[in-house]
């Protein structure tokens, strides 16, 4: 028997939510004869989500808004507590939002999920002037990653319920998580809660919302996130042979790593290595004693559970080759390349290089990765997508939910 997913979850009572105002439809007037009936609602929801700042660690307000919005649309919504981060304001709870239709607690066959946190800084909502048309551009932080997915998912499910294409008995649940942009702590909290159940649920499929240009992703690269510290011997710069430069060691090691083959695959290409932060030394005339690099590797090889360890071993071998005693590498987390199901009729296919919450949700289920917008503008100053992108995503999510329920 399928377990009731909320039966043993620790949930914050709905009454703890602070009411958030729901803006009316956008003031722009749609003119296209092909305008879908849900356009105003979709654009209004998308606008509200973007307008509420929700940088990772400070997702309380957008979470409260979502609960208010979903309950006003006939959903049951519950809050799953997630631990605070250093950036969480005092007296602001962090929580995942779980929502479903029907009178009973869900025993979900399909979970539709995305994240409600964004990267800094907050960029206000804006929309290109004039009457709304498919090519109308919408900008603002999260417009693509991933509030475009959140809005499209909700409207897609609304459309499926209102047309009776699915019913509450089909057991489809919405799951909106916090913290994806930092460490995936929201999804990890949800996953851990399932593992503590006597009979963990065996849901059939999870549809993850991320910007894939409305193509169905066959998977994404894994990741390896580490710090490397080099330890040298300080001294006067006029006598470099009397010391050991941590900066020089680090530079030599970085060049070798950048030139190395860290692993590749036909599906995901080459493993890449990004030196995200580098520092070392005290002054130009002092042999530096310490140097540090923070890096993010994008892992092109599998398996998912151990592919990153292969890359880590290759990097460690290079560090040992440069100086077996000088380097220390500590890694926060990692995973190998991640595959997802892209064999659904009617969708173009893609692979992506960024990470998602897929590795943070344990279990044997079919994974789908899909959403509006282009990752190349996400996290940037001009994050944007079009009305057509959002509307196509609504249709795409509907197709994926129906497909997943039929499997």
Catalytic annotation, pick one of 41, 59, 180, 210: 180
CB atoms near residue 255 (< 10 Å): 12
**Whether residue 84 has a cis bond before it, omega within 30° of 0:** no
Q: Do 352 and 288 fall within a single domain?
A: no
Q: Do 129 and 117 fall within a single domain?
A: yes
Q: Do 57 and 204 fall within a single domain?
A: yes
pTM of the predicted model, to two decimals?
0.90
Distance CA 165, CA 220 (A): 31
Q: Which pLDDT score, from 0 to 100, does residue 90 have?
A: 87
- Please say whether the beta carbons of 367 and 217 come within 8 A: no
Distance CA 322, CA 240 (A): 18
Q: State the alpha helices, DSSP H only, in 114-245.
A: 147-162, 185-195
Of the candidates 314, 335, 356, which is a domain's last residue?
335
Of the candidates 335, 361, 382, which is a domain's last residue?
335
Q: Is residue 66 part of a domain?
A: yes
Q: Which pLDDT score, from 0 to 100, does residue 21 have?
A: 39
Q: Which pLDDT score, from 0 to 100, does residue 89 have?
A: 87
Instruction: List per-residue pLDDT tens for the chain, 407 residues long.
Output: 344 555 545 454 443 344 333 444 344 444 445 899 999 999 999 999 999 999 999 999 999 999 999 999 999 999 999 999 888 888 889 999 999 998 766 689 999 999 999 999 999 999 999 999 999 999 999 999 999 999 999 999 999 999 999 999 889 999 999 999 998 999 999 999 998 887 777 899 999 999 999 999 999 999 999 999 999 999 999 999 999 999 999 999 999 999 999 999 999 999 999 999 999 999 999 999 999 999 999 999 999 999 999 999 999 999 999 999 999 999 999 999 999 999 999 999 999 999 999 999 999 999 999 999 999 999 999 999 999 999 999 999 999 999 999 98
Q: Do 89 and 202 fall within a single domain?
A: yes
Q: Do 119 and 215 fall within a single domain?
A: yes
Of the candidates 280, 308, 335, which is a domain's last residue?
335
Distance CA 258, CA 186 (A): 33
Q: Is residue 16 part of a domain?
A: no
Q: Do 248 and 384 fall within a single domain?
A: no
- Please say whether the beta carbons of 110 and 397 come within 8 A: no
Q: Do 142 and 277 fall within a single domain?
A: no
Q: Is residue 1 part of a domain?
A: no
Q: Do 63 and 102 fall within a single domain?
A: yes
Q: How many domains does the chain have?
A: 2
What's 167's domain CATH number? 3.40.630.10
Q: Is residue 229 part of a domain?
A: yes
Range of the domain at 297: 222-335
Q: Which pLDDT score, from 0 to 100, does residue 6 have?
A: 55
What's 249's domain CATH number? 3.30.70.360
Q: Is residue 262 part of a domain?
A: yes
In 3D space, the residue among 41, 42, 2, 10 whose CA is nearest the CA of residue 389 turns out to be 42
Q: Is residue 282 part of a domain?
A: yes
Which residue do the tokens 């603002």 mark?
A: 140
Among this protein's residues, is 180 annotated catalytic? yes
- Please say whether the beta carbons of 148 and 116 come within 8 A: no
Q: Do 121 and 189 fall within a single domain?
A: yes
In 3D space, the residue among 380, 355, 347, 384 whose CA is nearest the CA of residue 148 turns out to be 384
Number of H helices, E strands in the chain: 7, 20
Q: Do 66 and 174 fall within a single domain?
A: yes
Q: Do 64 and 186 fall within a single domain?
A: yes
Handedness of CA 23, 378, 96, 57 (dihedral sign): negative
Q: Is residue 10 part of a domain?
A: no
Q: Do 135 and 207 fall within a single domain?
A: yes
């Amino acid at each position: 028997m399928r377990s009731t997913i909320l039966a043993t979850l620790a949930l914050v009572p709905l009454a703890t939510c602070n009411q958030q105002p729901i803006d009316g439809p956008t003031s722009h007037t749609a003119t296209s004869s092909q305008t879908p009936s849900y356009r105003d609602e979709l654009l209004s929801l998308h606008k509200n989500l973007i307008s509420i700042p929700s940088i990772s660690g400070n997702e309380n307000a957008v979470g409260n808004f979502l609960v208010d919005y979903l309950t006003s649309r006939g959903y049951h919504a519950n809050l799953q507590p997630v631990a605070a981060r250093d950036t969480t304001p005092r007296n602001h709870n962090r929580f995942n939002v779980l929502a479903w239709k029907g009178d009973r607690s869900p025993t979900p066959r399909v979970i539709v999920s995305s994240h409600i946190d964004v990267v800094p800084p907050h960029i206000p909502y804006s929309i290109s002037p004039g009457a709304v048309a498919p090519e109308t551009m919408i900008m603002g932080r999260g417009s693509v990653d991933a509030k475009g997915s959140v809005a499209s998912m909700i409207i897609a499910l609304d459309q499926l319920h209102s047309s009776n294409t699915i019913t509450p008995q089909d057991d489809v649940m919405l799951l909106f998580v916090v913290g994806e942009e930092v460490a995936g702590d929201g999804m990890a909290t949800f996953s851990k809660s399932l593992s503590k159940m006597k009979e963990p649920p065996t849901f059939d499929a999870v549809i993850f919302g991320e910007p894939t240009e409305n193509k169905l992703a066959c998977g994404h690269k894994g990741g390896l996130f580490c710090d490397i510290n080099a330890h040298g011997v300080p001294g006067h710069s006029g006598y470099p042979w009397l010391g050991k430069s941590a900066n020089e060691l680090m530079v030599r090691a970085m060049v070798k790593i950048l030139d190395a083959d860290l692993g590749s695959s036909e599906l995901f290409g080459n493993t890449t290595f990004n030196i995200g932060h580098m520092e070392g030394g005290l002054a130009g005339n002092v042999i530096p004693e310490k140097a540090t690099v923070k890096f993010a590797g994008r892992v092109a090889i599998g398996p998912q559970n151990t592919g990153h360890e292969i890359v880590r071993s290759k990097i460690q071998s290079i560090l040992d080759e440069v100086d077996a005693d000088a380097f220390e590498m500590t890694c926060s987390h990692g995973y190998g390349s991640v595959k997802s199901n892209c064999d659904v009729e009617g969708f173009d296919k893609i692979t992506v290089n960024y990470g998602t919450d897929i590795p943070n949700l344990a279990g044997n289920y079919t994974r789908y990765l899909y959403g509006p917008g282009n990752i190349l503008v996400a996290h940037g100053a001009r994050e944007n997508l079009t009305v057509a992108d959002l509307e196509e995503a609504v249709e795409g999510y509907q197709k994926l939910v129906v497909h997943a329920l039929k499997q």
